[in-house]
A = this chain, B = another copy of it.
Amino acid sequence: MIVTVTPNPALDVSYRVDRLVHGSAHRVRSVRERAGGKGFNVSRVLHERGVGTLAVGPVGGVLGESLRADLVASGVPHALLEVAAPTRMTVAVVDDEDATLFNEAGAALPDTEWDRLLDLVRSRLAGARAAVCSGSLPRGAPPDLCARVVAVARGAGVPVVVDTSGPALLAAARAGADVVKPNAAELREVVAADDPVAGAEALRAMGARAVVLSLGPDGLVAVTEEGRWRAAPPFPVRGNPTGAGDAAVAALANGLVERSPWPARLRAAVAWSAAAVAVPVAGSVDAALARDLHDGVVVEPV
Contact = CB atoms under 8 A, between A and B. Distances in A.
A300 B69 CA distance: 58
A100 to B, nearest CB: 6
A22 interface: yes
A26 B102 CA distance: 5
A103 B20 contact: no
A26 B100 contact: yes
- Indicate the member of A24, A28, A63 with the most B CB atoms within 10 Å: A28
- Range for the number of chain A residues in contact with chain B: 20 to 34
B62 A100 contact: no
Contact of A103 (B21, B27, B99, B100): B27
Contact of A23 (B27, B62, B99): B99
Contacts of A63: 62
Interface stretch (A42-50, A90-98, A119-127, A157-165): A90-98
A194 B105 CA distance: 50
Contacts of A114: none
Contact of A22 (B91, B100, B104): B100
Contacts of A82: none
Contacts of A103: 25-28
Contacts of A93: 102
A25 B101 contact: yes
A100 B91 CA distance: 13
B31 A104 contact: yes
Interface in A210-264: none
Nearest to A98: B23
Given A62-B65, A62-B66, A91-B102, 17 more contacts: A13-B89, A15-B102, A15-B104, A17-B102, A21-B100, A22-B98, A23-B97, A23-B98, A24-B101, A25-B103, A26-B101, A26-B102, A27-B103, A28-B105, A62-B62, A62-B63, A93-B102
6 contacts: A20-B100, A21-B100, A26-B100, A26-B103, A28-B104, A62-B62
